[in-house]
Amino acid sequence: MKIGKHFTLDELTVTHSGLLNVPNKASIDALTLLVNNVLDPVREMLGEPIIINSGYRSLRVNKAAGGVATSQHLSGEAADMDCSDNAKLFHLIRDHFVFDQLIWEGGDDKQPAWVHVSYKLQGNRGEVKQMKVIKGKKTYIRL
């Protein structure tokens, strides 16, 4: 099922856990908002495909992925993604879009390993963070 111009429901529910990962209508609606307000427009600006590593996650998939209990992936409000230049992707979103959270995930100071973005129907906070692993622990630093 196509959601927006460039993304499908299958892409946004991908999991490598082997666990069932089927969103309800509210989560599909949230994914559609994320696609329409961030993912499709940034894909157009970038001019190349964006690979979704994780979008919607069921409770079991989220737990298997090491996600927190409050993860926006559980409601379909978030996506982790990659492209040929994740830093460019991050900066395009930061500079041109409304979002709830934008996280430079791992990697180094020149290139994140992947980009996390979330979008809500109301109350988007515009939080920008960088995740670094310090002494084996994920640490989130506000930028």
Tens digits of residue pLDDT in 90-139:
999 999 999 999 999 999 999 999 999 999 999 999 999 999 988 988 89
- pLDDT, one tens digit per residue, over 21-65 is 999 999 999 999 999 999 999 999 999 999 999 999 999 999 999
* Cα angle, residue 119 at apex, residues 32 and 62 outer, rounded to 5°: 85
**46-51 — which CB contacts under 8 Å span 24+ positions?**
46/83, 46/88, 46/89, 46/92, 48/83, 48/84, 49/6, 49/83, 50/6, 50/81, 50/82, 50/83, 50/89, 51/81, 51/82, 51/83
Distance CA 107, CA 109 (A): 7
As a whole number of angstroms, the distance between CA 124 and CA 96 comes to 14
Alpha-carbon distance 12 to 76, whole Å? Answer: 9
Strand residues in 19-136 grouped as ranges (E): 51-54, 78-82, 101-105, 114-118, 127-134
Q: What pLDDT is attached to residue 92?
A: 98
Residue whose tokens read 């670094």: 132
Strand partners, 139: 132
pLDDT value of residue 55: 97
